[in-house]
Amino acid sequence: MAHPSSRRGRRPADQGDTERGIRLAALRRFADQGFDATSLRDIAADAGVDVALISYKFGSKLGLWKAVVERVGTVTLEQIAAAAAAKPDRGERPLAAAMEALIDVYCANDTVPRFLLRDAGHDPQRAAWVFDHVSQPLLDHYLPLIRAAHDAGAMSAPIPEMAFLTFAYGVAVNVVRRDMLTGYAPQLANDDEFRAALYDTLIAPQLRHG
């Protein structure tokens, strides 16, 4: 009789790591290929698990995709808060720090914006899931900062929701298309130059004291 630890699958202590590995493999596949072109067998092979384990834990490909979106929303918000808190002048410029933080987070891992942009507009149900679990939490985080800046005369934002979504989409698109942009402006191959260009293009024009 096989020892319990030698059976197919991992021990309960490792289940959290296994699920994280599956979500990470799924995130990369969905970002690279899109939802429709990705199979659970592809993801299972990348994660080094049996495809039946994915079905057991997540129910279906859509269930796994939804779990990935939920995790992306949670982790992205945590990373933005941490990056903003680390800015030396965050207390004086909370909105600018928070906006810079989104640039930092997306530049550090372009898989996330590629994932969010690839499928969000192709299917109404998936688009709604992305909005509920990624866009809405980010809006809830940024809107008080935008309204405060607007009220203080530091930003012109008659429609704060539009101001944020336009900014966030602009960051995502430019990060995803960085290789193409570098063909026109080679200096953007430098990470610092690229971040500075994003700031000068997407943040500075909106902030009167930014």
**104-126 pLDDT tens trace:** 999 999 999 999 998 766 788 89
Per the domain annotation, does 26 fall within a domain? no
Query: How many other C-beta atoms lie within 10 A of the C-beta of residue 169?
Result: 15
Q: pTM to 2 decimals?
A: 0.86
Per the domain annotation, does 1 fall within a domain? no
Angstrom distance (rounded) from CA 210 to CA 201: 12
Per the domain annotation, does 33 fall within a domain? no
Per the domain annotation, does 23 fall within a domain? no
pLDDT in tens, the chain (210 residues): 343 333 344 444 466 789 999 999 999 999 999 999 999 999 999 999 999 999 999 999 999 999 999 999 999 999 999 999 998 876 668 999 999 999 999 999 999 999 999 876 678 889 999 999 999 999 999 999 999 999 999 998 889 999 999 999 999 999 999 999 999 999 999 999 999 999 999 999 988 754
How many structural domains comprise the chain?
1
Q: Which amino acid is at 158?
A: P
Per the domain annotation, does 46 fall within a domain? no
Per the domain annotation, does 76 fall within a domain? yes
User: Where does residue 156 fall: left (phi above 0), alpha (psi -120 to 50 degrees), or beta otherwise?
Assistant: beta
From the list 34, 202, 44, the residue with the least C-alpha distance to 126 is: 34
For the chain, give the percent of residues with pLDDT over 90: 77
Backbone dihedral angles phi then psi of residue 207, each to the nearest 5 degrees: -105, 125
Angstrom distance (rounded) from CA 178 to CA 65: 25
Note down the domain range covering 108. 69-206
Per the domain annotation, does 124 fall within a domain? yes
CATH number of the domain enclosing 119: 1.10.357
Angstrom distance (rounded) from CA 119 to CA 192: 29
Coil, strand or helix: which one is 32? Answer: helix
Per the domain annotation, does 179 fall within a domain? yes
For the chain, give the percent of residues with pLDDT over 70: 90
